[in-house]
Structure 1
């Protein structure tokens, strides 16, 4: 088997295998890396060196032993601070072997100050408690005003975060007033002081948004912002609160309860307001849009004015136009009147001609009337002669048959009280009243006695 492909079984090599130093170190390195997963190691830093490449080289020791360690630049840049010799840390590392010297070492991924495991557990417990109460609910959080008149800053007067915030406002929004409510941001007394500073800001009611800021540091350095009383004070704020504590990778309880979390104090200042130049650019854009709209409006009105002026004439010209129109209408009326008169005259002449043609001759009609009258008289005389004779005969017959002539010969008509003619004397009774109608007059009689003439 070639030396470079040397392999071990059950942690040992064949007894007759001859190894080079490089092979041995490589095999030992493989064993170390295969046997140890990522582990946590606790110890004190000594012999710390920061190379020009950005890598950190140091020794981790306790009171009995020491081990070399390296933290490459990419990992070191995420720490946010430079460890100091003599400080206690907990390191998450991979066990490796530095082959050129045959020294084993720790390759560090991340580090935290000793005791931060307990702090992290306390952090998780408080986070779960406040989250269960709804203090992290996004629906509870208020929008950040885009154009505040004044911004409050709660931080230490000596903090670099305050300089960063003030520099950001001076550069981006010099028109906004900044009110600082000083309070320590680290140490045992920091949480109560931060609560007092926030309550002062609430009572003075002089700002539209509050920035709670601090620069980067370890979990211990940022622990003041994991205080429950501070979290509840932030929730009770009458104005929106932006929390910018530590670096982008740092999270605190104050970040979760704030209305907005900023990755850094500078970012908190930037998120609290729109930049002045952007507002000026927006205002100028609105001005240009308004100017364009006004220009288009003026152009449309100018066109309407031109059209109106083209249609506008002087009163004298309008009167002349109306006079000409009146004269034209008068001439048309006269022509129409003459035309109607001529038409009516022609029609009248036509009717006269037709009437004259239809009128009969009076003399001829009179002669015809006399002739017809004579014929009528002759016909009438012939037609009425025979009926008149018959009428006279009928009158004579009627006179002869009239009851009056019979009564004149001494007869009488006898009627009972109901006016019914009495024809049989036997139908009467003594005492009946009768009416006798004679040729001259009538008489009322009473029946004394009835008898038969046979």
Structure 2
């Protein structure tokens, strides 16, 4: 019996499986588990059901086209080929297509990215900017072909002929479309100044509109400092660009209507305001005229000399009253001052001495009690016309003989 190497056996099994039509291009339904995507871009996971498990690998060349992010627990249908990994002797499904079961991959990708960007705050109302009332220049990011550009131009020029439209031509679907649209938005945001931006395209399937669901486009819109109107598809079409835009228009034509004012409506408003201003000015003029007539009919305007004489007489009366009041006040103050002077004179020491009294001091200190001196002390008596020196011979208190 021949003896084979492990490599020979694994190679034989690989060739055997490759020749089995059932294992080539088959589809497998199952639940994803152990999903992992490496920096290389390759994805490794397991498909399982209630009874079994199948190892799977999806290389970067296929994984890069996934519209959604595979997650553990997700029910999917994987398409590919069963083969053997010779090094480990393990058979696995080499996946070249992967679809979520029960919903399309685009719908799932839409919800996943919407949830992610919403959590990042890109759809917050606080980020929204108001549209300018009278834009002079509008940047348009769309395809140069098709009806979208013509509709925007036609409606804008009809409503506001002076507005200038600047086109940044882009591819609106297919590979590379999202990057072009994002660059167009950045161009008007950073390089070419405009007052408002319209980014959009005509209607189509979800796949046709998908470029406006791509993350680069949504982030460019959210970061744009210029007010931006999204105009993607028809009224029933919604993209993530609509959630990030400052204003969402149901159609490109409506975007033009939102971007510029209606000249006829502005004219009506100006005429209405002019009429209001004219009426208000007339009312104000009439009011001022009535006030002027009232002043002209007043006595001061009709008989100025008489009014002046009355005012002069009133002034003389007030001056006389002021003089009388001042004179009376001066007399009162003078009388009070005399009373104070009399009181001051009554308690003046010199006046006391003049009435026969004297002041006794000892060594220049006032003596007010017999206890302040001793027998034989020298004292000084101050009288009204001079002073005397004396010696204490005796002390007699009150009540003593």
- Taking structure 1 as the reference length, what is the TM-score of the superposition? 0.43
Structure showing greater Rg: 1
- Name the one with the larger strand percent: 2
- Taking structure 2 as the reference length, what is the TM-score of the superposition? 0.48
